[in-house]
Amino acid sequence: MTAFEIQKVFTSFNDTKILVIGDVMIDSYIIGQVERISPEAPVPVLLTKKRESRLGGAANVALNLKSLGAEPILCTVIGDDPNSDLFFSLLDEEKLLPDGILVSQKRITTEKTRLISQGQQLLRYDTEITDCLSESMFQSFLKRILALIVEYKPEAIIFEDYDKGVINPALIERVVKQAKIENIPVLVDPKKRNFTAYKHVTLFKPNFKEFKEGIQQQIAIDNMELIFESMHRMRKIYGYTYLLTTLSDKGMVAVSEYEQLHVPAQKRDIADVSGAGDTVISTAALALAKNLSLSDIVILANLAGGLVCEKPGVVPADKTELFNEAVNYYEQES
């Protein structure tokens, strides 16, 4: 793509409606300094200097979409607890729509808390419930999602699955069926529990560990021949249009019925890989919604995922930075 074509694509991202279904969480950070070891146990003592809370999980996907100019519609179920108040407050701060958020008294709002000193994570502790939704809540949630599809007419739907119980096979089947009727592409960022429930979706994006677990096969990350062979087989079995697998510092690989490609990672100073998968699926969704080729989808997603790894914490992609990276990349490749 030329710089003009890239600019046209990035401009087209603006106000694109994308429905995001999945598990949300609050990413909390306790930031301080370690100067001594506790006399009570051989553990560091963190002197707290600052606390931060950010939207995470599927909500971070929504943030990435918004940062790239799109209009995300976030669909999830959270708990009826103090953290739900914080979640709605953070949602309001980011000017994200609350239309798809349901609250359940039988759940808690997931929170991941990271203790950080001098840019290094010392410990993470999680507060969560991973049980599936009750039948009544599932029906309410499905009804809300289907209504939002009719109301907003999204150009793509993302399942952002963190195995916290919001997504189940019945929900997947019904939403994918409706998406087919409406001719809306469906993208999936999977986890283990529902891995095989996603059938006939447009783009399926596991990381390499999830991919190996899904096919129950040990593959070396640099054995491209076997990786591609396994991906083609998996794509055919589950009926994906595209299968994209992230390979950490090796970049990304993707296959369709008639093509396969490997896009190496750019050399970067990695600060934190948290949230990179959210950025990848968000960028891929927008690129797919704008009918870009598989090659361009993977290139843009690869660049975006790498960019957020240069920054500490879970942060969304910066549209201007991504545009500049894309222009430089395509100029070098031409």
- Known active-site residue 278: yes
Catalytic residue among 23, 161, 278, 296: 278
**Cα separation of 171 and 167, whole Å?**
6
Whole-angstrom CA distances from 219 to 55, 75, 204, 211 are: 34, 35, 19, 10
**Amino acid present at 49:** K
Whole-angstrom distance, CA of residue 61 vs CA of residue 291: 20
Closest by CA position to 145, among listed 161, 159, 130: 159
CA–CA dist 123, 36 (Å, integer): 16
Tell me if 287 sits within 8 A of 296, measured CB to CB.
yes
Question: pLDDT tens track of the chain, all 334 residues?
Answer: 888 999 999 999 998 999 999 999 999 999 999 999 999 999 999 999 999 999 999 999 999 999 999 999 999 999 999 999 999 999 999 999 999 999 999 999 999 999 999 888 899 999 999 999 999 999 999 999 999 999 999 999 999 999 999 999 999 999 999 999 999 999 999 999 999 999 999 999 999 999 999 888 889 998 999 999 999 999 999 999 999 999 988 889 999 999 999 998 777 666 556 668 899 999 999 999 999 999 999 999 999 988 876 666 667 888 999 998 999 888 888 7
Overall pTM surpassing 0.95 (yes/no) = no
What are the structural domains of the chain? 19-31+46-333 (3.40.1190.20)
Phi then psi dihedrals of residue 122, to 5 deg: -90, -35
